[in-house]
Amino acid sequence: MSQQLLLLPHMLQSIEVLALPVEALEARLSKAFGENEALEFRERRRRPRQRDFDRAQANQDLLAEVPSRRGGLAEELDKQIVLLELSAPDAAWLRFLVGALDERGFLVLSDDELLALADQARLAGGRDALGLAIARLQALEPRGIGARDLREALLLQLDRRSGDHALLARLVEEFLDDLSRNRLPQVARGLGIDLARLRELLEQLRGLSARPAAELTSDAAPCVRPDVVVERDGAGFRLMVVREGMPEPIVSKRVERLAADRTQPAAVRTRLRERIGEARALIQALEQRHTTLRRVARALFERQQRWLDEGPPGLVPLRMGELAAELAMHQSTVSRAINGKWAQTPWGIVALRSFFQSGLASSPEVSREHARSALRELVALEDPRAPLSDDVLMERLRRRGFDVARRTVAKYREELGIKSSYLRRQF
């Protein structure tokens, strides 16, 4: 005798659908409508609370109409090459170099390596043709394309007509390492200028790009779509699963009639009954996803009502296992329900998973986000000429009730993108 747990196909489908965020769910439904003639959809009735989803959807539709930033790097540079009206051999050399650029727009291969590859591509001319092609490549837009390293990329972007060109060139050629270590007094002395003048030069350098190809290769940032909309409502909150704004799948009455029509061939009726079964299983999986996500999200925000009032500093420590036990669910079910899902809140669109954080080891009732917010505030209030070290930050956090170690302070600082005290210092 043995006992086994078998996952039937419709159970597997329910698990898969539960884990899908709203964009992937729409793609899944679109595919199902195209493959299963027993599926139809109808628009859901608009509800008073639907305005929250409508507002989010309107923003999404607006962003979707914005065209992607640019085509690929090779495509954009090729447009410029065409305008140069070069001979076929010269254009071939230039396109060959474009193909050798890395994602930053740098030409990292040595001349010998490029010549060996050019020989394989049957390009004639040797070093003279290579040198001319590199010069033409570095004249294309954006400036900095075809540089061998960061220094050369920055030098190529400097405006030679500027009165500060000589100082800026020296700054890049001789003091780039010192700048990365915030050794501004030494750099100023090396250039023979004061700190105020150095700051003016640095402001000009900040307008240069360390990745010249970025504006040609970066696509528009993907838009995050909320799966749940939640907002304050008096002493409580209102919650809506975005599925309420999506088309509602239903089983086609026409297909049901055909499946029951005995004048149809047996094979046709059998196939249509299978399609109807698949449609009903998908509809059931969608309903289960809707119910589970709503239950999990409601229980989550009941625990995090302080966050709805105060924002990130009000985050309450919460473990996924605690919520699963409260809902009488398996922890893996809660994990699937929140994974990749987002909530539109009064404080912006936030990942549901971010609401699950353990407390500090020394103070379980205090969330790590609260400690990070306090750290961010301390750094914002510090004297930039004498920034606080990690040891001092640790002591000040402890005075505020956050019993953290120095290594924890360093970890939180790195997570927040805050530089070390040495690099934060302003002269």
Q: For the chain, what are the domain ranges? A: 9-44+225-354, 73-216, 358-424
Between CA 416 and CA 307, with CA 401 as vertex, the angle to 5 degrees is 60
> Which stretches of 23-133 are assigned E, i.e. beta strand?
39-42
Q: What is the pLDDT of residue 65?
A: 43
Inform me whether the pLDDT recorded for 153 exceeds 60: yes
> What is the chain's mean pLDDT, rounded?
82
Q: Average pLDDT, stretch 358-375?
A: 66
CA 208 to chain centre: 24
Q: Average pLDDT, stretch 274-287?
A: 90
Q: Average pLDDT, stretch 159-184?
A: 88
**pLDDT band at residue 270 under the 50/70/90 scheme:** very high
| Alpha helices, DSSP H, located in 183-316 | 184-191, 195-205, 214-217, 253-260, 266-303, 305-310
Q: What is the pLDDT of residue 317?
A: 82
What angle do helix axes 126-138 and 88-99 make, rounded to 10 degrees? 70
CA 234 to chain centre: 33
Q: What is the pLDDT of residue 244?
A: 54
Tokens matching residue 228: 């749940």
Percentage of the chain beyond pLDDT 70 is 86
**Which of 10-24, 37-51, 251-265, 409-423 ranks highest by mean pLDDT?**
251-265
**pLDDT band at residue 325 under the 50/70/90 scheme:** very high
What angle do helix axes 266-303 and 320-327 make, rounded to 10 degrees? 120
Distance (Å, whole) CA 23 – CA 29: 10
Q: What is the pLDDT of residue 361?
A: 52
CA 300 to chain centre: 24
CATH architecture of 358-424: Orthogonal Bundle (1.10)
Inform me whether the pLDDT recorded for 75 exceeds 70: yes
Inform me whether the pLDDT recorded for 273 exceeds 90: yes
